Structure 1
Amino acid sequence: MCRLAAYIGTEIPLENIIARPRHSLLVQSQDAQEAKLRVNGDGFGIAWYGHLPEPGLFKDVLPAWADTNLPSICRLVRSRLFLAHVRAATTGASSRENCHPFTHGRWAFMHNGGIGNFGHLRRDMEALIGDDYYALRRGTTDSELFFLMMLSNGLDADAPDALRKTLDQLLGIAARRGTAGQPIRLTCAFSDGTRIFAFRFADDRQAPTLYLSDCLDHGGRAFASEPLEGPCARWRAVEQDQLYELAPGRLDVHAIAVAPSHTTSLRSLSA
């Protein structure tokens, strides 16, 4: 399982989230406490927003702790909104193209978890991606395909609706093809440069962890796979089956509803 973090608020150096806290994302890359794998060394990536609508992007296949450029970038680059990810590969080779976040236009997207039986679901997923978006595909992960499905389902127009449609399509495919006891687990964060969306969903109710902070010392808020200061009252778990929409001074929560027949079929197949 991967580890991720996303920040929105006053402009801060990236290191305030990625490197400086006691249980920062960099620490989690070597010593995750709430994941099956403690080490997340199959690459990393950062997407940050500045004066342009599109995010900057820095990704590499090196473990985050081994990249000598990362400390300098995190110390000198400042941003009001950024996403960061350290990868423990489950689907797709260790390559720069498979590192998160994935970006298109103003959107940046990252994922922790996995789509069970992906090899048997992939062709049906690909068929639901619009030609223009399919041409953007660079890697081989389930995460990138899910992002391209969301874009095809109108992410630009209505993010909650695009997520619901994509989940419904994915669960429909899994119900037809069968997941053979391999769960679909999605903990994701994505942004359009003005808001951060985050959600946890799993057909077996065991989605990877995600927490939301109260106001941090530098005036912003963050999502993280594990609390950046370690367990404490200022971080609370993100509920499953809810899409959190975090903007400066505002938090909205949208219910994620999927077709009951799909979840029923999946439970029967995995029983």
Structure 2
Amino acid sequence: MCRWLGYVGDPITPRELLYDPERSLIEQSRRHAPDMPLPNGDGSGLGWYGRREVPALFRTTAPAWGDENLLELASEISSRLFLAHVRAGTGAPVQQTNCHPFRYRNWLFVHNGYINEHARLRRELLLAVRPDLFGNIVGTTDSELMFHLALTFGLQDDPVAGLEAMAGFVEEVAEAAGVPEPVQMTVGLTDGSRLYAARYASGPVVNSLFVSEDVESLRALYPSSERFAHFPDNARAVVSEPLVDLPGVWREVPVATALVVDETVQELPFEPRRPVAVAPSATG
């Protein structure tokens, strides 16, 4: 499985989450999960917001733990909102265009999971992508396709509804093809203002997702911790796995739940649904 994290709050250097914690994202990238024979060595990426509305993007096929350029960037950048990802491929080639985050205008998207039997469903799913979005797909992953399906189904107007319609459409196509349990996902998404996330799977096994508690509460819980004293009051992080092993720091996101994160965390039910309309295909 892949791993990712998202941060929103007053500006910090990404290094403070990517490298510094005892269970940092970079440390997780080389540490095998119980059900994984290999580490997350199929590339990594960082997307962040700075002086422009459009986010900057760094992606590389190098394993995250050995990429000096990523370390330099993460140490030098200061950003109020960023997404980072380490990849363990599920069939798509190891190439830069298949590394997360994926970008469309002011939007960034990361994903941990898969579409079951993606190769079998890919053609029909691709033909549902809105024609004006199609040229933005430059890789071959199911993740990038999921992002563009969500954009097709209204993500820019209602991010959670767009993700729900995407998941519902994939499940509908998979059911018609006889593919079981098609969707496995935790996703991170941002428009540069808020951080959105969702945890869902069509079957009983669901990848993990956690959100940090508010910093003021953490300072009260751990008054001697320099880290919590340093972090901004409005800092929030969403992660695939906890970055520090301290009780009360992380709250597990319930299954079938979406988050809207800024200075507060709003939890919403995540309910896949049939899209209102599917964009016509180029051959339609």
- 1:215 positional shift: 2.8
Map 1:252-271; keep pairs closer than 5 Å: 252-258=266-272
Q: Please list every run of 5 or more consecutive structure 2 residues that lacks an aligned counterpart in the other structure.
A: 216-227, 275-284
SS in 1 for 2:109: strand
- 1:90 positional shift: 0.4
Correspondence for 2:12: 12
CA deviation map 1:168-215 (0-9, x unaligned): 111100110122x56421111110011111111111121211111113
Correspondence for 2:279: none
Distance 2:40 2:119 in 1: 23
Whichever residue aligns with residue 8 of structure 2, its letter is I
* Percent identical residues: 34
Correspondence for 2:242: 227
Correspondence for 2:86: 86
- TM-score (structure 1 length as normaliser): 0.91
Q: 2:265 aligns with which of 244, 251, 254?
A: 251
Of the structure 1 ranges 139-148 and 217-226, higher mean CA displacement relative to structure 2 is found in 217-226
Whichever residue aligns with residue 188 of structure 2, its letter is A
1:185 maps onto 2:184 in alignment:
yes
1:237 maps onto 2:252 in alignment:
yes
- 1:128 positional shift: 1.0
Distance 2:115 2:40 in 1: 18
Whichever residue aligns with residue 236 of structure 1, its letter is R
Distance 1:259 1:82 in 2: 29
Correspondence for 1:142: 142
Correspondence for 1:265: none
Distance 2:250 2:119 in 1: 36
4+ long deviations beyond 6 Å: none
Are the structure 2 counterparts of residues 113 and 233 from structure 1 closer, same or farther at C-alpha, using a change threshold of 3 Å? same
Distance 2:37 2:80 in 1: 31
- The answer as to whether partners of 1:188 and 1:198 remain within 8 angstroms in 2 is yes
Distance 1:32 1:234 in 2: 23
- 1:34 positional shift: 6.2
Of the structure 1 ranges 26-35 and 36-45, higher mean CA displacement relative to structure 2 is found in 26-35
Correspondence for 1:213: 212
- 1:232 positional shift: 2.8
SS in 2 for 1:69: helix
Correspondence for 2:153: 153
- 1:126 positional shift: 0.7
Whichever residue aligns with residue 244 of structure 1, its letter is L
SS in 1 for 2:204: coil
- The answer as to whether partners of 1:213 and 1:234 remain within 8 angstroms in 2 is yes
Are the structure 2 counterparts of residues 154 and 202 from structure 1 closer, same or farther at C-alpha, using a change threshold of 3 Å? same
Are the structure 2 counterparts of residues 244 and 86 from structure 1 closer, same or farther at C-alpha, using a change threshold of 3 Å? same
- 1:91 positional shift: 3.1
- 1:135 positional shift: 1.1
- The answer as to whether partners of 1:47 and 1:58 remain within 8 angstroms in 2 is yes
SS in 2 for 1:228: coil
- The answer as to whether partners of 1:200 and 1:242 remain within 8 angstroms in 2 is yes
Whichever residue aligns with residue 89 of structure 2, its letter is A
- The answer as to whether partners of 1:187 and 1:198 remain within 8 angstroms in 2 is yes
Map 1:88-103; keep pairs closer than 5 Å: 88-103=88-103
Are the structure 2 counterparts of residues 235 and 34 from structure 1 closer, same or farther at C-alpha, using a change threshold of 3 Å? farther
- 1:68 positional shift: 1.4
- TM-score (structure 2 length as normaliser): 0.87
- 1:227 positional shift: 0.6
- 1:36 positional shift: 3.0
Are the structure 2 counterparts of residues 231 and 118 from structure 1 closer, same or farther at C-alpha, using a change threshold of 3 Å? farther
CA deviation map 1:103-127 (0-9, x unaligned): 0101000100111011111111111
CA deviation map 1:42-99 (0-9, x unaligned): 0000000112111110000000111111221111111010000000000310000000
- The answer as to whether partners of 1:44 and 1:85 remain within 8 angstroms in 2 is yes
Higher Cα Rg: structure 1 or 2? 2
Are the structure 2 counterparts of residues 34 and 153 from structure 1 closer, same or farther at C-alpha, using a change threshold of 3 Å? farther
SS in 1 for 2:51: coil
- The answer as to whether partners of 1:91 and 1:140 remain within 8 angstroms in 2 is no
Q: Please list every run of 5 or more consecutive structure 1 residues that lacks an aligned counterpart in the other structure.
A: 261-271
